Structure 1
Amino acid sequence: MGIRDEDLMQLCAAPMHGVATVTALDAATLTVQTAQGALPARRAASCLMVPQVGDRVWLAGDLAHGLYVTAVLERAAAAGCELRLPPDSVMSVPAGTLTVQAPALRVVAREAVGTFGRMKLVGDLMESFFDKVSQFARWSQRVVDGPDQVRSQHIDWRADRTLQLQAEHLVANGSRLVKADGEQIHLG
């Protein structure tokens, strides 16, 4: 090995850090333009913001073991950003409050599970569309200030003890049959 080769080997093991620009990317690696030319790099585990072509990034590492993009410093376009976490990640705030604030929030998942000691939703409009809904509660109360409508093919309400319908005006219509059955029936 000549003197020049030894100098090159030392250069490969020398730590590098500085600003670079992302010029290309694929699934696993990025190409960054540095003062030393175009070099391959990988996104560091601590770099949650996914780099895009044209981003100015902070680079650290060495040529022998690899270069890593540790942070996105500046985005060339006024585009949004993607935060990417590794599989089975946890976002934890041991004390205090975690607030996510935005004009619009969209959550997309194949399955979602939430466990809450207490949950409160406040809003102007709530719409939900499901193929099947199952709810279980020890106690339930609902107050509606205005119309409350249910439309269904069949409605089956059952109470083990008492079912009470109370109103100033109660109207029951059956186009074919109205049936009342009981040991005693009181009208009036």
Structure 2
Amino acid sequence: MQNTLITMSRPGADHAVGMLYATVTGRADKWFFLSSPEMAVERALRADSCLIEPECGDTVLVCHGGTQSCFVLAVLARATPEQATLTLPGAVQLQTSQGQLQVKAEQLELQGRQRVTMVGAQVDVTGIRGELRFRELSASAEQAQARFGSLTSVAQNITSTVGRLVQKARDSFRWTENLEETRAGRVRMLVKDRFHMKAAHTTLLADGQVKIDGEKIDLG
């Protein structure tokens, strides 16, 4: 690409405004160092209209009107076409690299008037604190694994239907204020050490045989 210098007159100005092609050779903070055959500009700032962040080796269009007012207006050709950074006001950046898109901002909010859909072979969500609020929630999965340091749940009603339920705990405590009822085809309880049951009133009813077996039985 041939470097061309275009000069425009500006009324009342000491220096004429010019535009030229240049190559980015480096960067220090907000300043971009440039190289061009005319050597009219050595460094420039990125203009607000230039949304793509210039990188080393990029060919850019520069506007200059003296040493104090030089701006990169646009990125004309990328040294690495497969990646780019789109910089928006408010320190917001959109970065693309090898088909990946990354959004950087202090806060990110997505709003859909009708629906928001996320689809992917793998979806990862990571954060220090999370909160979900729904009026209605439906979830389905072929397999689910959950690990918690501590878990607290509060619900008015819970109904669960499972084919098989297996629970294992080191200690288990349960308080029921009113009625607790168990209906089962068979009930079997195995206690390794001691079994203690206490009630104000106890009633045992059997349609058939009642059997009590032990080395020693104390009644009363």
Residues 162, 112 of structure 1: alpha-carbon distance in 2 compared, 3 angstrom cutoff: same
Between the aligned partners of 2:32 and 2:131, the Cα distance in structure 1 is 39
Secondary structure at the counterpart of residue 147 of structure 2: coil
Which of residues 145, 165, 169 in structure 1 aligns to 2:182? 165
Q: Which has the higher contact order (CA 8 A, sep 6+)?
A: 1
Indicate the percent of aligned positions where both proteins have the same amino acid.
8
Structure 1 residue 81, shift from structure 2 partner: 2.6
How do residues 109-188 of structure 1 correspond to structure 2 at under 5 angstroms? 109-145=127-163, 147-187=164-204, 188=206
Q: Tell me the equivalent position of 1:88.
A: 107
8 Å contact kept, 1:60–1:69? yes
Between the aligned partners of 1:113 and 1:62, the Cα distance in structure 2 is 48
Residues 178, 78 of structure 1: alpha-carbon distance in 2 compared, 3 angstrom cutoff: same
More helix as a share of residues: 1
8 Å contact kept, 2:44–2:70? no
TM-score (normalizing by structure 2): 0.57
What do you get for the CA RMSD once the two structures are aligned? 4.3
Residues 75, 176 of structure 1: alpha-carbon distance in 2 compared, 3 angstrom cutoff: same
Residues 123, 32 of structure 1: alpha-carbon distance in 2 compared, 3 angstrom cutoff: farther
8 Å contact kept, 2:25–2:35? no
| Deviations 1:19-45 (CA, angstroms, capped at 9, x unpaired) | x9988778x659698999997666979
Once structures 1 and 2 are overlaid, which stretch shifts more, 177-186 or 107-116?
A: 177-186
Between the aligned partners of 1:122 and 1:56, the Cα distance in structure 2 is 49
| Deviations 1:105-139 (CA, angstroms, capped at 9, x unpaired) | 00111111121111111111111111100001111
Q: Which amino acid in 2 is paired with 1:183?
A: A
Q: Which runs of 5 or more residues in structure 2 are unaligned?
A: 1-8, 84-96, 207-220
8 Å contact kept, 2:34–2:43? yes
Bigger Cα Rg: 2
| Deviations 1:131-160 (CA, angstroms, capped at 9, x unpaired) | 100001111111112x21111111112111
Structure 1 residue 78, shift from structure 2 partner: 3.1
Which of residues 8, 11, 15 in structure 2 aligns to 1:6? 15
